[in-house]
A and B are shown apart, each in its own frame.
Chain A
């Protein structure tokens, strides 16, 4: 129980810190682009929307910082993140909601595939240490140090411009409407394959190396020797004895790496013009659309937090020691 409480306290604290950073970000900005925008479009924004923007961006000079902070929390709890300047004053929450499924779908699948495949390959290389399989290590290192965006551009140059196998941009064909038909699903897969592939290749190396190093350390433990001496099948020793224990640090670095993954996909979405949250953030940055930038940063941070919680739960299921700490 103590373990559980401590984790909850940590997540509550992190969420508070992220939201507070988000509160101070626009207040640190030089100049005041928001009020300039509001003045330019005085007649077109509803008074309520102006009110919420004032609170979000600290334009209310009458109120003290503390009052602004409390107002800000109230707005967040009512689900109001302001209006997006660049998207025709649509509510920020709606704009983000339309982009999130694309990112979560693409990145989620790519990340899980990369983690599973990378860990499996790493376990195998660690198991067959000293064999020719070790040759995968330098190749994997190379691909993990190649910048994401460059690999994406090269992939487009080869597979879509030259060979024409995959479309180079967007999530589905131009002119078609998102729907739950087989044809549309086919388009989504065709458009998503290349971005997902580059994401997987780019992040695979880290998982392979981490798992290999852990496997080599774990395989030297006495319980592995005992398991082999008992005459257990090699596959059983590999999976249930060595890999199970070696994969625990992988899980915690999986949680930790999610922040980096979000950063990587941001660039990937730029390169492939994929209509996800990362592309949205970059567009918002170029358009100086502060409400949208702020809202996106908040949503991305909270998403990483949620993923961390899930990884924690998985860790507790796999590793009895963390549960024993409760007793």
Chain B
């Protein structure tokens, strides 16, 4: 008998809960707003496919990566071996599928480590002042100037069998500086904004100012420096594997190219070396697309420039034409007769 009552009281109780949930959702949406554009979404989808391949590689791959079939050596692509076989009769497609995991694991580990270093040093260098800021900035610049790849080669050659974590760390240590520099510049410009000053005047502790007031304004830059480091790490890893510095037990796309070159695949056995290179380029392209999307989110001029120019051209103005253009036939009397070609709307 009393059933309706709890329901009736529950409804108003639920409503604020629901709205709270909605605001939490929309806040989450705001956090990912930088990815909500065509370029980022395209990049994320390609990346997603690679991630799925890396996770489910064991089920997708038709053969084992090192499974040898001596009856089918250096076979061109066929229905049995979609991407042909190597000189040992290994299936190239399976090698690429298994290699995806090595590339992504090292790329993302290096990206995470480098981003943590970049945020820690970059934000601190931007927030503190005086000699502390200068010395952290000098540290960043030293890492920017020291050539990364030669250093990695020298360090990696010291180890007989470097682990994945070691390779990622070395790639991260030589790759964090650019992000650190950008973050420092952005933090420095944030430091003197009113809302930070207000937070400081309110007596908020330092960690809260940095974590709650500043970091949300830095997410786009952090994301873009993360993606940038992953690109660099993927290229670095495959290059090291191709040179032969990284042990062949760590299978990735660079190792495939290493084997292809060692065993005379160039130029006749194209199915052996073309797919791996294209995969690296495709992954790099996907990550770059994500970064373009973030760039356009950070700098709206980039996003609207093309559209505005096209809109102007439709009206009969050429943006890069001579300075003043007289409209040939004013369509409405309210329109001004003479307009600057470069006028913004």
Contact = CB atoms under 8 A, between A and B. Distances in A.
Given A217-B302, A267-B242, A30 B158 contact: yes
Given A228-B340, A267-B239, A285-B153, A260 B148 contact: yes
Contact of B319 (A17, A129, A156): A129
A130 B308 contact: yes
Interface string B133-145: 0000010011011
A266 B157 contact: no
A59 to B, nearest CB: 17
Contacts of B284: 144-146
A237 to B, nearest CB: 8
Given A260-B148, A285-B245, A231 B301 contact: no
Nearest to B153: A285
B147 interface: yes
A145 B288 contact: yes
Contacts of A49: none
Given A225-B343, A304-B147, A231 B257 contact: no
B267 interface: yes
Nearest to A301: B146
Interface stretch (A34-42, A147-155, A177-185): A147-155
A234 interface: yes
A225 B342 contact: yes
Contacts of B244: 286
Nearest to A162: B267
Interface string A255-296: 010011011101100100000001001100110100001001
A21 B150 CA distance: 13
Interface residues of A, number: 71
Interface in B108-154: 138, 141-142, 144-151, 153-154
Given A21-B146, A30-B158, A130-B307, A297 B266 contact: no
Contacts of A308: 145
Interface stretch (B7-15, B18-26, B83-91, B321-329): B321-329
Candidate in A10, A150, A156, A260 with the most chain B CB atoms within 10 angstroms: A150
A262 to B, nearest CB: 5
B266 A148 contact: no
A160 B309 CA distance: 44
A29 B157 CA distance: 10
B248 interface: no
A134 B306 CA distance: 8
Contact of B238 (A13, A147, A224): A147
A131 interface: yes
Given A25-B154, A130-B310, A157-B266, A301 B147 contact: yes
Contacts of B239: 147-149, 263, 267
Contact of A146 (B242, B270, B281): B281
Given A146-B277, A220-B301, A282-B153, 14 more contacts: A13-B142, A129-B305, A141-B285, A141-B288, A147-B235, A161-B266, A162-B267, A213-B302, A220-B344, A229-B323, A259-B147, A281-B153, A296-B150, A304-B146
11 contacts: A130-B305, A141-B285, A147-B239, A147-B281, A150-B276, A161-B266, A217-B301, A224-B342, A228-B342, A267-B149, A300-B147
